Amino acid sequence: MFVPSLWVDGMAFGRTILRGGENPWAKPEELGLFHRELASLLSLDVVEISIGAAIDALLEYSSDGPDGDDVEAIEDFLNGPALSAYVTRGIDVLLGGAGGGLIAISLPGPGMIARRFMGAASVDENTLDDLSMALTGLVRAIYRQGIGFIRITEVEPRALEFMTPLTNVAGHYQCEPVLVLRDEAKSADAPPGFATVFREGDGEILQPSWWHAADEVPQGKKLFAELPDDMEPEAVLRRYAALKAAYT
């Protein structure tokens, strides 16, 4: 399966213009409609299922989150029935109306999970290893036939050492694993096993400032672009059309 040369994350943009800022995962039963609308608006090659947005919604609308920043509690949450049931509910609705398009799971890496729940607490390698295994268990619980990609975003360089379980589970399900390296992880060596790596600072991740400027469309073999939610939608769509044309 090919990895599109232009990988688009339209979640923030979509939730703003299609849902008035509401997280679409607040209503998993309507997730399919949201993604159909977004895919049509943006002519998306890949529809992303954002696990990070699902986690945010579940934590906001229920009491099923981990109690404190204890790593075992975070593992229990990631591998617990509440999260997997919540996510699969949305995935099943989405896949039921996807129309045969390419589907990706968008997953925060173990370092991002550690920062999400543990904040400034000291995170050691054992914690990152445990969280990688917990995320792998989550992928196993939520995977459905029709998902072709697993896209992982990571910001913690030390977490890259513990990606093997995630790339292995992607291979088991014949999914293409895609890695996005940001912040401190952008200069780290990428681990083996990924079909494509988008690295911040190498011209492979579109800078947010590009949307506000009059710069030319960046040229390259691949590009990861996150559509902004702080501009006039018409302006974003005009810029996006030029971007799309350059990578078609």
- Provide DSSP, 63-113: S-S-SSS-HHHHHHHHHSHHHHHHHHHHHHHHHHTSTT-EEEEEEE-HHHH
Least trusted range by pLDDT, from 20-34, 61-75, 135-149, 157-171: 61-75
Mean pLDDT, the chain, integer:
91
pTM over 0.85: yes
State the pLDDT at residue 147.
94
Q: Which of 83, 151, 167 shows the shortest CA–CA distance to 117?
A: 83
pLDDT above 70 coverage of the chain, percent: 96
β strands within the chain, DSSP E: 6-9, 46-50, 102-108, 147-154, 176-181, 196-199, 223-226
The answer to whether 87 and 139 are in contact (CB under 8 A) is no
Confidence bin at 120 (pLDDT 50/70/90): low
* Residue 145 token pair: 């036939």
